[in-house]
Amino acid sequence: MEDLTTLTIIIGLANLFAGTVSAALFLLIFWQRPENRLNQLFGGTMLALTIYSIANILSRLPSLGLDPDLAANINSSMYLVFVVGLFLSSIRFADIRSTFIRRVSVISVIAFFVLFGLIWSGAATDGVVPVPDRPGTYEAKITPIGRIAVGITFLYPLVTTVILYRLRHRANRLKDFWQAPALVVFGIIWLVTLWPFTYIPLNAIALAGAAFLMGRAVLRENLFNPLTDITNELKIKNRELRDADRVKNQFLAKMSHELRTPLNSIIGYTDLVLDGLYGDLNEQQKDRLEKVLRNGRNLLNLINDILDLSHIEIGQIDLYPEPVSSIDLLENVLAVVEPQLSDKEIKIIRDFEAAPPIYVDKMRAQQIMTNIVSNAVKFTNQGSIRISAHPKNGSVQFEIEDTGIGIPEDKRHRVFEEFRQIDNAPTREYGGTGLGMSITKKLVQMSGGDIWLESELNKGTTFFVTLPNANLTSSPRKPALDDRKLTVLVIDDTQDSRMYLHDSLAAEKPDWQLITAEGGREGLDKAQSKNPDVITLDIMMPSMDGWEVLKRLKANDATKAIPVVIVSHVDNHDLAYKLGATAILSKPVNRKLLAGTLERVAHGEDLRPETYRTP
């Protein structure tokens, strides 16, 4: 018991406190997430302080017979590990990534190995001797090299303090973090200057305080806020997903054009052959070509659905609302779905003769109604489909009621979900991707309306759609068109598309003069030399794309007044109208719609949305 002097007890308690704090922090932080680099550095720092504290306690007990030189070397090397670890973990915690700091870190690691070697080689001291009349107290005879080593050791916490103090406003977690290395600096100064005279172990207390301050900050960052790293990883993943989504959309836009171009020819030429433009057909030939036409249009619808969903998700669909006749809209929809009715015993009941106009994007409104009516036809084999429209609460409410198969109550929520269908069995009777009604709901909501349904199994389904009322009492009378023969210039780089547009217009308007141009440069030359009444323009062309052609046409005094109708799949309607396009038709285009559009714009009718119309 003679080892337990008052000084030994005080020093032992101070080091016990420092060792307990550092050991607890080591276990809490390192074992919590051992793969984390900050936790590894901080854990190693705390472990070194723990060993240092234990060695200090044991070296105060002479009865243990420890070699003083060995104990001093252990103490010195563990203290060195602690201050170097303090520097490196602080730099990591502050997230400093400058070139200067990286170089300082490399130098500090090199200096650490040099100092570690000096400690264990005995070059830093000439031996450790006990202090007379103070059991358990030793005094080291430091060599000149040892004094340099002590000075360098002192620089580690000093530099750490200066760096962290200057960065204390960079982040809230660094606000008080500089105080930890500052306590270590204070402890070293106390140990070198006042310890020999007072023998008060403030160095151990300072080390414990530094460990506590560091541990509190690191715990708050990594233990009490464990979502920090996950959040950063999510940010990176979200950025990667956005990049992947952008690449996907670029791919879809390109594939859309590549798929629509041959589909334009397949659907268009099949339609022309069925109309007898190239000669008479027997009944079997007509039947087979009608199947080709039907499946070609189905494929086109699938492509459109996938593209529309992609564009809606990333907000790339712009709506251009204008007053639209509800009656004309529904009649056009019925004309589109008429082929689906040919082999079914379904009666169409029209109940929209007094429907007011709606204020919508005309193309998207037709897509909405076509999807719903087509759905009704698909799931109704016999009976009737009633289509009604009437004003209600400042909107126009459309009701599409069928006598089809109906929807079970527990499956109605699936109707508007993406890629979901009521019957998902491999042998299901009805085809489709399950995108149509999901897109329809999104377009209705984007248009300022609402959509819902009521259904009863085996009795039928009614879809309700509300769209903004245009509040017009009557539709403006359209000016009568004269019978002047038109000259039309078709600009398209694909031969099949040019021929289809040429033959379609020739079939609808045999008196019109049709000129074709292969690509943008030839189109610009012919626009100036032939002075057509109207131009059709493809967008995706090599060498000079349609955007550049449109800009040059509108910049040239000789051609700027010629109306340009874009016949292509265009995502950016806003750009098209701002550059001067008069109308936009998407491939594959119906030949009647094409001829009618060209005739209307050639006679001065402005088909652009109101936002872009010339006052």
Pairing of strands 345-351, 382-392: parallel
For residue 335, how many other CB atoms are within 10 A of its CB?
11
Take residue 125 and report the two structure tokens written for it: 């001291």
Instruction: Give CA–CA dist 188/207, Å, rounded.
Output: 10
DSSP state of 29: I
- Classify burial at 414, counting beta carbons within 10 Å of its beta carbon; exposed 0-12, middle 13-18, buried 19 or more: middle
Tell me the two tokens of residue 64. Answer: 């243990």
pLDDT at residue 32, rounded to an integer = 66
Q: What's residue 196's pLDDT?
A: 66
Q: Tokens representing 206?
A: 């300072």
Mean predicted confidence (pLDDT) in 215-224 = 66
Query: For residue 590, which phi and psi values (nearest 5 degrees)?
Result: -70, 135
Maximum pairwise Cα distance, the chain: 126
Residue 286 identity: K
Closest CA to 339 of 270, 290, 383: 290
Strand pairing partners for 564?
535
Q: What is the mean pLDDT of residues 537-541?
A: 90
Distance CA 252, CA 259 (A): 10
> How many CA atoms, within 13 angstroms, populate the side-chain half-sphere of residue 525?
7
Cα–Cα distance, 124 to 132 (Å, whole number): 23
Residues 40-54: tens digit of each pLDDT = 888 888 888 889 888
Q: Contact 537/520 with Cβ under 8 angstroms?
A: no
Terminal CA-to-CA distance of the chain, rounded, Å?
Answer: 106
pLDDT, tens only, 316-331: 677 778 889 999 999 9
Buried b (16+ CB within 10 A) or exposed e, 581-593: bbbbbbbbbbbee
Phi/psi for 275 (5° steps) reads: -80, 0
**Nearest alpha-carbon partner for 26 in 212, 225, 227, 229:** 212
Confidence (pLDDT) at 487: 93
Mean pLDDT (whole number) for 268-295: 85
- Is the pLDDT at 424 greater than 50? The verdict is no
Q: How confident is the model at residue 426 (pLDDT cuts 50, 70, 90)?
A: very low
8 A C-beta contact, residue 118 and residue 124: yes
Q: How far apart are CA 296 and CA 288, in angstroms?
A: 12
Using CB atoms within 10 Å of the CB of residue 184, give its burial: 0 to 12 exposed, 13 to 18 middle, 19+ buried: buried
Given a cut of 80, is residue 566 above it in pLDDT? yes
Rounded distance between C-alpha atoms, residue 437 and residue 563, angstroms:
36
Tell me the pLDDT tens digit for each residue of 95-148: 777 888 888 889 989 988 998 888 888 888 877 776 666 666 667 788 888 888
Type and span of the H or E element at 517: strand 513-517
Sign of CA dihedral 51, 56, 59, 60: negative
